[in-house]
Amino acid sequence: MKLVLKRIVLPFLVITILALLVTKWINMPRTPKEFFEKRCTNCHDLPDLTEYTAEEIPKLVDFMRNSKNAKRYISEDEAIVIIDYIVSTKASIPVSVDSLENERR
Ligand code: HEC
């Protein structure tokens, strides 16, 4: 019985635990986009944020964390990364053609 435990059950357990850890590691979000996509879909589909302005995004994420209990899934640091990412998809820095021409002179 002891031999069975040592030769079969133990290696099986070790491999199972390793497989779980590797799966967890593979599924970890790595880029800001992935943090947004993974964290913000814990409770609902990926939200359509086209109606929100860049200024509203921090308030929206705070609202999710503080009023909708998203704190359970989204840490403070992750919230900053996610806000940065969403805002970056919106912000288009207006560049006037005039200022470019002036630079060239
Ligand atoms: C803990 C669960 C949870 C997480 C995580 C979560 N939300 Fe929500 N969210 C809700 C609930 C609950 C509602 C309101 C009911 C619904 O529409 O399902 C909601 C609604 C919304 C709405 C619609 C708001 C409105 O007034 O119609 C937006 C937009 C939204 N969430 C964005 C986000 C974003 C962006 C994230 C990631 C930062 C996020 N949510 C993460 C729970 C969550």
CA distances (Å), origin 70, targets 51, 55, 61, 73, 102: 21, 20, 9, 5, 48
Count of the separate structural domains present in the chain: 2
Closest CA to 78 of 44, 23, 28, 21: 28
Question: Does a structural domain hold residue 103?
Answer: no
Residue 42 reports pLDDT greater than 70: yes
pLDDT tens per residue across span 48-71 = 999 999 999 999 999 999 999 999
Same domain, 38 and 76: yes
- Does 39 contact ligand 1 (Cβ within 6 A)? yes
Q: Whose CA is nearest to atom 30 of ligand 1?
A: 47
Residues 24 and 62 grouped into a single domain: no
Q: Which residues contact 67 (CB under 8 A, 6 or more apart)?
A: none
Q: What is the pLDDT of residue 6?
A: 86
Q: Check whether residue 38 and residue 78 sit in a common domain.
A: yes
Percent of the chain with pLDDT over 70: 86
Task: Give, using CA atoms, the residue closest to atom 7 of ligand 1.
Answer: 64
Question: Tokens in use for 1?
Answer: 């019985």
> Residue 83 is part of a domain; what is its CATH number?
1.10.760
Ligand 1 atom having least distance to the Cα of 69: 1
Measured in Å, residue 64 CA sits from the centre of ligand 1 at 6
Question: Within 13 Å and on the Cβ side, how many CA atoms surround 95?
Answer: 6
Q: Which two tokens mark 37?
A: 């996509």
Q: Is residue 23 part of a domain?
A: yes
pLDDT band at 5 (very low <50, low <70, confident <90, very high): confident
Q: 101 lies in a domain? A: no
Q: How far is the CA of 80 from the centre of ligand 1 (A)?
A: 16
Task: Report pTM.
Answer: 0.80
Substitution site in 37, 64, 74 for ligand 1 pocket (most atoms within 8 Å of beta carbon): 64
